[in-house]
Structure 1
Amino acid sequence: MSLTPAFLDELRARTLLSGLVAKTVKLQKAGREFRACCPFHNEKTPSFYVNDDKGFYHCFGCGAHGDAIRWMTDQRGLPFIDAVKELVQAAGMEMPEQDRRSAEKAERAKGLHEAMEDAAKFFIDKLNGIEGAEARAVLKKRGITDETARAFGMGYSPDSRGKLKEALKGYGDPMLVEAGLLISVEKKDPYDRFRGRLMIPIRDVRGRTIAFGGRIIGDGEPKYLNSPETPLFDKGRTLYNLDRAQAAARKSGRIIAVEGYMDVIALAQAGFAEAVAPLGTAMTEHQLERLWRIADVPLLCFDGDSAGQKAALRAAHRAMPMLEPGRSLAFVTLPDGLDPDDLVRAQGPAAFEALLAKAQPLVDRLWESEIAAEPLDTPEQRAGLKRRLAALADGIGDSNVKHEYLAEFRERADLHFGRGPRNFESRPQRGGGGAPPARGKRDKRGNWVPPEPPLTQQTRSLQAGGLDPILAKAVLAGLIRHPAEIARHMEVLGSLRGASGALGKLFEAVVDVALEDRQLDRTKVLTILAKSGFDQMASELLRADTLPFSFTRPQAEEKKAREDLNEAIAVMVARPAVDAALAEATAAMLERFDDESFARQTALLRQRQELETRLANLMLADDENLED
């Protein structure tokens, strides 16, 4: 089967984009276009436009842009080929010819899908009938409303070996066995797999039933029973509720993975529609990739018991080889013995939202796990910790992320064992490959001056005066309060030596201070800056009650303040380059208005939004400011 550009152009021409979008978004006529509040991000003023003449949608707020096919893949979460098939059917077109084997496979899958849908209807009917009274009582006891049960297609399988088989006999036993609805035993007639259970349909991204999960009514084992793997159902590639959660996740900007489908249902009823769950297995690479297609940092919220926390750690280790810049995981830790269902029923949605707001970064979860794994009393045990941490970092595929993890683990180990940060000294390169290391020189007074950094785009942006003055002041105040961090960021700070204005000169003075004396404390820094005429500026920074960061406060907890300062420096240095690139991309978009320029602008908008979020997370709340 070949999807030619001509075929796809014809499909787009036959699809009324506004009609497609209006199925899930309320549109208003605006001249020759339609407008609405963007479905891809939260906004109060409409900035999302649909143009039928040109066949595309565009949001001037977040940069979302695309045609009918892109709408199906981005907003509905469908794979490309499934998006095309659905649009083809709606447009009354025919897909290009398939080869015979593919056609037979598609026909077989169609029959299985129909059988699963009829099974789902059978279970729903039984839940609402006389036989479902006990199952309805279970739902009521768990606080699941009738509306929620209908939304998730919940049903009941009678405690019988043959009622489903009889109801679906038109499909034949072999197909029902292949669909996982019947169990086949040698020399015996097949019989119903699910008996006496609360039934929950498992759907694919298109919302089609592909499997079932069954919870026992009353006592019995196993408590939960899932369909076996079938031509429709691959447990390791499926996330429960992804079909319903993906639109909510794109709007909220987060995706939450929990352990079981009852947790997902309870969270959805409590207002957290962006929750999904693996299906009785550890989180797989395929499931992690699914999550990352929706959010850069999925939230993993497994049960608070030992088994749940071990599952979370396994997911952390499995994610390591796939980490990329900006792509990670965060972990929500529930009180011991509680799952999300218990928590929202006992304490309400606000309690769960509070836990989400305190999600633990992946690096923290790994560090805490390794610190607690073994005693660290002897040199050998401490060496073992470092070896385990290095092995974790070495498993990361992306070289930049690997380097950052290695550096982070080294610093944490040094601080944990009371050794303090290491002196900043460049080491000569080994071997003869590559260019020789850049050498510094001495000025007229005999002081060593580091080499000028290469003029990267980032450095040019900084030297052009692109620093955020408030953030730059906060960083300077933080460096003066925590001078040991100056050495760690010497290369970055060196690139600021040419920044314009008083801030640039003060950055230069701070670097010179670190070069004169590696064993610095705040008093020494202030003394040396005073000799250079910066005493008043430095003192004003330390008195600046308007700087809303932990690392600018004298009473801040040292470790947290230094971590926040490091993050603020990273944001400060990255933002000017992103802003410059975004301005250039926006100008290109307005000039050309093509897919490439839109994609570039969208990516940069996301980078800018990520930086703003990172910075907002560092700011103190108003009540914390008042306390100072």
Structure 2
Amino acid sequence: MLYKIPKSFINELLINTNIVELISSKINIIKKGKNYYSICPFHNEKTPSFSISFEKQFYYCFGCHVHGNAIDFLINYEKINFIESIKELSFFSGMKIPKKNIYFKKYFKEENLYNVLNKISLTYQKNIYKEKNKIAIKYLQKRGINKKSIKIFSIGYSNNIKIISKNYIKKNKKFINNLIKSGILYNEKNNIKNRFTERIMFPIKNLKGNINGFGARTILNKIPKYLNSPETKIFKKTENLYGLFEVYKYNKKIKRLLIVEGYFDVITLFQNKIKYAISILGTSINIYIIKKLFNICNTLIYCYDGDNAGKIASWKTLEISLPYINDEKILKFIFLPKGEDPDSIIKKEGIKKFKNRIKNAIPMSTLLFKKLLKKNDLSNPEKKTKFSRIAISMIEKIPGKIIKFFLKKILGNKLGILEINELNPNKIKNKFKISHKKKNKKILI
């Protein structure tokens, strides 16, 4: 059976929401007269045409004509559905959602999973300080993680004690079922088992601080070394970011993000006052994550591990980011020595040198031409043609006009061509056709 959300609750929710505060928590806005303005988050533009009216509690873009109220903004900006927007808006406004006949069954099922994961996380957090589990604390101390970070990131420990007896399962059937649905337990031939045993537990939180999954690190050399929660109704590995909740919590304004691979990288950086680092749960970068990151801030600095996989991931990140780079967006890369990651290199070199690495991060343009020139030499016209064709096809994907202009200028300099705009393949083809026709006419005469 489906339940409807009462219109009276939605109206009350909108009345109690300040759209200016909501939008300013997501993007930078400037007040001009009665209204507020910003670069539109829904299309590429140079001059701010996105307006927000406090009086009308409404937004409108004079460029792409997108418009709506606070609910519409969340749906379009966060790429979420109506139900999820109501949940987020009620959280933002501090309103409690009525429990009777307002939501779909899906909402209650998701809430149950969040509640279960939050409860099990508290159990893990208590476990880590028990005398019988001192191996966990010793391991974290060895890795340089202090008690303050353990608390901030809600780090815990899952031991191998069998607490799931047949009697317990009968008494707590719903709870056990939700533990299975959330990926903590799994059923193997009617035998319920714990997915995570003897592992350090890293809760993965959404922006509200609710836990939707875990990353788990073995301390007894089990395989695999790291184990993530499986795909569930509230957790998708390719869409989650570790440390994002803490970034929002400890930064008034997010000017840049440092994207790394591991949980320990994020925590070590945080301990060293770099509180804008997040992990993408490995090197599985995708369009969804790219868009999400650029929605948070304009400057992204990627620092993958110093191995071949890290180099491949950097180039893949550059390639899929091109359609989302406008004149405001900045993309940079840090390449670490072989076999190093941010956690290990900071312990070897110190935080001062690592901050210099951030300061001297390689711009997207430098990496683009460095990689292309490595694969293509310019020793003859044919090879120059191949190089220019590949480079132009990549540059044309960028919507930002100014950055595109300068990239073409760099390309022109490398090829020894002064008129960069002439490098458009269609223009070259058209010019060739025109000159060819002219030549033919002369011959006929």
**TM bucket, shorter chain:** 0.7 to 0.9
Note if contact 2:325-2:400 (Cα within 8 Å) is conserved in structure 1.
no
Q: What residue is the counterpart of 2:149 in the other structure?
A: 148
Note if contact 2:90-2:97 (Cα within 8 Å) is conserved in structure 1.
no
Amino acid at match of 2:108: E
Amino acid at match of 2:88: A
Question: What is the deviation of 1:144?
Answer: 0.5
More RCO (CA 8 Å, sep 6+) = 2
The CA deviation string for residues 177-215 of structure 1, in whole angstroms up to 9 with x for no partner, is 210111222x33121000111111111111101101111
Note if contact 1:282-1:315 (Cα within 8 Å) is conserved in structure 2.
no
TM superposition score normalised by structure 2: 0.72
Asked whether 1:290 is paired with 2:295, we answer: no
Q: What residue is the counterpart of 1:116 in the other structure?
A: 117
Could you say if the C-alpha distance between residues 384 and 273 of structure 1 is closer, same or farther in structure 2, counting changes exceeding 3 Å?
same
The CA deviation string for residues 60-105 of structure 1, in whole angstroms up to 9 with x for no partner, is xxxxxxxxx79x98xxx997533322156x345649964xxx5200
CA distance in 1, matches of 2:111, 2:382: 61
Q: Answer 1 or 2: which has greater strand percent.
A: 2
Could you say if the C-alpha distance between residues 93 and 277 of structure 1 is closer, same or farther in structure 2, counting changes exceeding 3 Å?
closer
Structure 1 counterpart SS, 2:282: coil
Mapping of 1:14-413 within 5 angstroms?
80-87=85-92, 90-92=94-96, 94=98, 98=102, 103-160=104-161, 162-163=162-163, 169-185=172-188, 187-248=189-250, 251=253, 253-394=255-396, 396=397, 398=399, 400=401, 403-404=404-405, 407-408=408-409, 410-413=411-414
Could you say if the C-alpha distance between residues 350 and 397 of structure 1 is closer, same or farther in structure 2, counting changes exceeding 3 Å?
closer
Amino acid at match of 1:349: I
CA distance in 2, matches of 1:224, 1:407: 43
CA distance in 1, matches of 2:98, 2:119: 26
Question: What is the deviation of 1:112?
Answer: 0.7
CA distance in 2, matches of 1:87, 1:246: 14
Note if contact 2:198-2:220 (Cα within 8 Å) is conserved in structure 1.
no
CA distance in 2, matches of 1:367, 1:205: 37
Could you say if the C-alpha distance between residues 426 and 221 of structure 1 is closer, same or farther in structure 2, counting changes exceeding 3 Å?
closer
- Which is worse superposed, 237-246 or 225-234? 237-246
Question: What is the deviation of 1:248?
Answer: 4.2
Could you say if the C-alpha distance between residues 9 and 109 of structure 1 is closer, same or farther in structure 2, counting changes exceeding 3 Å?
closer
Note if contact 2:326-2:403 (Cα within 8 Å) is conserved in structure 1.
no
CA distance in 2, matches of 1:306, 1:425: 37
CA distance in 2, matches of 1:219, 1:423: 56
Mapping of 1:507-526 within 5 angstroms?
none
CA distance in 1, matches of 2:174, 2:395: 52
Question: What is the deviation of 1:290?
Answer: 1.6
Amino acid at match of 1:151: I
Note if contact 2:216-2:226 (Cα within 8 Å) is conserved in structure 1.
yes
Give the RMSD, CA atoms, in angstroms: 3.9
Amino acid at match of 2:329: R
Note if contact 1:236-1:281 (Cα within 8 Å) is conserved in structure 2.
no
Could you say if the C-alpha distance between residues 430 and 223 of structure 1 is closer, same or farther in structure 2, counting changes exceeding 3 Å?
closer
Could you say if the C-alpha distance between residues 184 and 374 of structure 1 is closer, same or farther in structure 2, counting changes exceeding 3 Å?
farther
Question: What is the deviation of 1:387?
Answer: 2.5
Could you say if the C-alpha distance between residues 405 and 424 of structure 1 is closer, same or farther in structure 2, counting changes exceeding 3 Å?
closer
CA distance in 2, matches of 1:392, 1:165: 59
Note if contact 1:213-1:224 (Cα within 8 Å) is conserved in structure 2.
yes
CA distance in 2, matches of 1:3, 1:327: 41
Structure 1 counterpart SS, 2:221: coil
**Higher Cα radius of gyration:** 1
Could you say if the C-alpha distance between residues 425 and 251 of structure 1 is closer, same or farther in structure 2, counting changes exceeding 3 Å?
closer
CA distance in 1, matches of 2:209, 2:165: 24
Note if contact 2:262-2:281 (Cα within 8 Å) is conserved in structure 1.
yes
Could you say if the C-alpha distance between residues 165 and 293 of structure 1 is closer, same or farther in structure 2, counting changes exceeding 3 Å?
farther
CA distance in 2, matches of 1:165, 1:181: 16
Note if contact 2:412-2:420 (Cα within 8 Å) is conserved in structure 1.
no
TM superposition score normalised by structure 1: 0.52
Q: What stretches of structure 1 move > 6 A for 4+ residues in a row?
A: 53-56, 164-168, 423-427, 429-432
Could you say if the C-alpha distance between residues 118 and 96 of structure 1 is closer, same or farther in structure 2, counting changes exceeding 3 Å?
closer
Could you say if the C-alpha distance between residues 214 and 317 of structure 1 is closer, same or farther in structure 2, counting changes exceeding 3 Å?
same
Amino acid at match of 2:153: F
Structure 2 counterpart SS, 1:298: strand
Note if contact 2:408-2:420 (Cα within 8 Å) is conserved in structure 1.
no
CA distance in 2, matches of 1:336, 1:356: 17
Structure 1 counterpart SS, 2:227: strand
CA distance in 1, matches of 2:144, 2:242: 20
Mapping of 1:547-586 within 5 angstroms?
none
Note if contact 2:254-2:296 (Cα within 8 Å) is conserved in structure 1.
no
Note if contact 2:185-2:194 (Cα within 8 Å) is conserved in structure 1.
yes
Structure 2 unaligned regions, length at least 5: 23-53, 58-69, 431-445
CA distance in 2, matches of 1:426, 1:158: 62
Could you say if the C-alpha distance between residues 136 and 360 of structure 1 is closer, same or farther in structure 2, counting changes exceeding 3 Å?
same
CA distance in 1, matches of 2:105, 2:423: 65
Amino acid at match of 1:176: L
CA distance in 2, matches of 1:392, 1:337: 30
CA distance in 2, matches of 1:333, 1:108: 43
